[in-house]
Structure 1
Amino acid sequence: MLPIVADSCDVGQPVLGPGVSFGGGSYSPSSAQSVDRYTGVLPLDWPARVDFEELFLALSPRDEIGVDTLSADGEWRHVYKPQSLPETPPAGPYAIYLANPLGRFQWIVFDFDSKRGDTLVDVATLLRWLEDAQLTYVIAASGSTGGRHVWVTASTPLESALVRSIAEAAARRLPTLDHGLLCNPGTGGVRPIGAPHRNGGRSQLQTPLDEVRAAELLTPATCRNDSDAFVRLLLIIDAVPASADVRIRRIGAPVVEVLTDGDEGHRLPGTPNLTLDDVTYQLLTRRPADDKVSEVLASLLTRLALRRWSWLHIHDLLRDKRHREGGLLHACTDAGTGSLRVVLDDKDTRRKLRRQWERCVAHAATLRQTTESAEWTEQIAHVVSVVEDIQTSADAWPERWASESGPADRAALDLRCLLALRSGSLRLALDVRRAALATGYGRSTMHRAQDRLTLDSWLTARESDGPAGVTELLPIAPKHPAYDSELLGEGGGTQRTPPPTKERREALVTRLQERLSAGRADLFSHGRASLGHAGGLGHHVGRTYQQLVEHAHRPMSLSELADRTGYAPRTVARHLTRLRNLMVATRAVRVVHHECPSCQARPGDKCRTAQGRLLPGRGTDQHSVRQV
């Protein structure tokens, strides 16, 4: 039985709100009655026809609705802006918000888009789930293109977390479901039954055919859908295995974090790769098919996100008309009548493109980075080979990095090698601020180090349109006169076959990461000693420490450290003493085994047997004292 509100009117007279129209007539309470218009209570004696637009205005969970806006050409832009709740329905397209100001949903609307496939199959599947969960529903045809809206009303407002879980679970199993409106309680809205569509036609009731019954199911007070039924719905949907051909967008935690860096907006961490392959360039410059406009934009932005582009790079693409009419067409226009599209102004274009960019960056962060094309494999193999040559040549010339500016120069070179391995490109756009943070040096120091590396032919400058300087690692690095590739190379067997590219790349990345991490420790970069603090050990001591970290699996002798760092033995000994005083390094004790087969002596003792008996003189086999 429908609820009744009685005031000064006759007992049993139902109240919906003053002036609510039903078809040709209208319903008004007695003139002596003062009733809040938005009561959400329906009358008992419904007329034969129901004005659903008035019904939704009366049941609106907010005091505002979203109204579509017109372009300069008089076309609907499909951009809904909030307006105060009107007394009468707007003449153009508008949407009713699904959640109240607290973010709790009054309606769950499953929006099926015919552009994604056959909506009727997915609607039938959803209806089975709803009936199993004992939930009532109302179906409406959203327009003339075959889309469907399935309205499910909640007796009490639902938490957004529960609604989002239901929407994501259903989207993984229903390919034509557009679940984005259920994931955003702030702006999620749907055109109500009876509201006009921007391309013509109106949203029409389909099930149930009895409009009075449909009005009861759309009203929270009479729908009889409690919160437990929605929990059952979630359990029922999750019990159904997801189809193999439906991509699951969220797979646990993102593989790569998403950064937000001031004006650069959302981006993936790493150095941007500004060179485009043929496929990405064609997506950017060629006009997409009319039914692939949004798909091309999503594919293009995802590719650019994986290349570590930022919002500033994406925004610059709008300057070229070919880009606006090519891959960015979806962001610069709205769907019009037929194949015609409505051009957006610059402000709306930027807002729409930035919204799509942030979505694609978040999606790119969840993608696995192990899928590599043949082109990428060939490119990364070349980069790994060049970095190996650079590192081998740099290690063979230790005196170059033992000079006053040597540690900063080597850190700048190692950082560029690491970024090249990560990005798969020898051409790098690296500003001095990020270089300073990554190496532990100052910005001016990194700037001068880049100039010195360029003069020594380790790097070469390239043209740059952005704030960061672009440099390229040279494939042929300078070599020390004593460099011998046969002596220093590390072969993979008797035929000197190198290991696979992936293993070589991972080993180089690990080695460079450990070296840079050790070099930027505060112990070495805390400045000179003063009255205020003890100061750091300096970056030259840090170079010695880097060698100890790199060969932490075995002890190193003083002479080996001197050969690898390029410092004199006295300098290396002084570095080790300072490290030992701070308990960063320790002296390794190694026993020199001799030829006494049964010697049980401790270090410093004469050779003895297990019974404690001194061995007789045996010439060169006998040691008077065991050495350490």
Structure 2
Amino acid sequence: MPTPGVSEESGEHSPSSAPNHNPHTGVLPLFEVELVDLQALFLELSPRASIRVDTRSGEGDWLHSYKSQPLPQVAPYGPYAVHLADRLDRFRWVCFDLDSKRGDTGPDLSTLLRWLEEAGLTYVVAASGSAGGRHVWVTSAEPLEAVLVASIAKAAALRLPTLDHGLLCNPATGAVRPIGAPHRDGGRSQLQAPLDSRRAAALLSPTGCGNVSDAFVRLALIIDSVPAPATVRPRIVREQQHAQVLDDELGPRLAGTPNTLLDDETFALLTRRPAEDRVSETLASLLDRLALRRWTWPMVEKLLDERRHREGGLLHACTSTRRGTLRIVLPETQAREKLARQWARCVAYAATLPLTEDTLEWTETIADVVALVEDVQAAADAHPERWACKSGPADRAALDLRCLYALRSGTTVLDLDVRRAAIAAAHGRSTMHRAQNRLTLDGWLADRATDGPAGTHELLPVTAAHPGFTPAAQGGTQGTPPPVGERRTTLISRLQERLAAGQADVFAYGRATETHAGGLGHHAGRIYQQLIEHAERPLSLSELCARTGYAPRTAARHLSALRNLMVVTRAVMAVHHECPTCQAAPGARCTTAAGTVVRRRGADQHVARRTLTRERSGTPYYRPRPGSLVAAAKALGCHGVTASRARRYAVEIELYRWWRQEEEWMRAPKKGVRTGVQTHQEQAELVVTTLPALPRRRYPRTADGRGDHAAAKARILRRIATA
């Protein structure tokens, strides 16, 4: 069937009907050619009976929010887009959208056209309407499966930084503005190559393009893609939502109690101005995080009241681009409408994501994890002598760290490398490695390196083989246990407080030498941890010995060193005591059946209360002083030991990551990957530009081509700011 507006001979260009010119130079022909209405052609060849039309705000501005409408007879006045695939998710057009917001589209356009010509595909190039944007239309003579098109798009996106490949991976809603359609910022999509509209119309129609499916397979192979067989059609599986989406007077939101406390990363996304090429990504990431924290629309809308939020993470919702990188501030009404649309979209997306730490109370496994951690901590506390040996503090810190991460992640199988564990527990990496081995031998952990990286271990449930194991009572109606969420929060707070107390520089190992500043050691840190955990009341020497497993002489020696540095103070409880006779509260006077005891010196308390006062006056009690830890570390000369260790391990982690990236690059296939500025063989001029994507950092090499790890470490050290 001949294409409307195009003659049957249009596919064969005669010298009299088409000028002999270079389609990539942009030089206009010297004589007038017959024009074809390409918008009418797109509407007639549309694979669906509907198009997507942009909507307007109350002020008359285009919102860049496309809605589906029936296929019209005449092209709409405003911006609109035609679908690329039909109802069976088979593509009739493959349109490569090169967005100028991601960088200079010139080199990517030249590379893409070279690929298409190597594959034997015909194409039509159009200026999208935005400054520098390009649309490359490739028509298929027969419908293409979505798997093949998606594989081509993903492989091309890895090599073309300016390619927006999302529309080619979404056959349901993927649509592009046709040639001639207006742009929301003014201007229209204009034909660039070929300049003859009749020739372009022939290349846009299935009967005149000459692009068979095998040519698209060759294109996938040229780009180093691995497509699925053309006969395989993917099965569409709709993922079940993990969270319930509510839409009431509070707007679209996820079911649950809002968590208004923001972590450092989310707060940075909200308050810092994003990079110009990541404005929309920053807003999407921020709204996804807020949705997972169960925020409501009024809470999100209130963020617009502060300027630092509007110029930070909400910049995309408060501005619009006009012809390039110039940003125009939107009126308040349009900004709220735009933010509301983005919020509804992000809430729907967040409902499909796996549950995070803030929503672990809705999972089925978190109750088992909390119960296991409670049993492990109870068994560890029941046998304090196990942690009073030379390696005890490191073993207990490693066990507490695993318990903390299990509560946070909701799983007992954890991947924790020794350097991260050393930084969190304020021990050396070799010390933490040996501690994990000892815990594995004792039955607290199980090595799961076969299921993951080398540092993968599983926190084992408490059995009768563990010291201090007591079977849990079954049944009973003496009380209702607290909810899992409260128990989990209490355990996390307790473990965080204990680990933070042990991270103080004053508890560093070793004695002071010329090259090493020693601290009090981690055994003194265990004494201090118990005082911090029971900061609501002072502890006696006997209580500390019972909780830590140390002998009285050892505990007294550590307490003496802590008192000399004013980290711990002695509190003699000889002023206020409860009365064993009349049960008077501390600070209250004793009473009798007849009334209050006469207030006379030495006779205003019962004999039992005075006896208790004399007994306790000879028993010293100890309280912690958290504010003196830094001063004590400076007095010992060990201030900054933990930060120095963290900096050293950070350099080692970055060095290892850099080398692994170098190994992956060395093993990766190099076909289709080219460096430098890419130009088309017929391109008239060379365009040199700096793309927003950072190039690969080459690993330093020696003269014989081997990796120079010392030079790489020196480069990393130069990039890290010193205190």
Q: Give the TM-score taking structure 1 as reference length.
A: 0.49
Q: Give the TM-score taking structure 2 as reference length.
A: 0.43
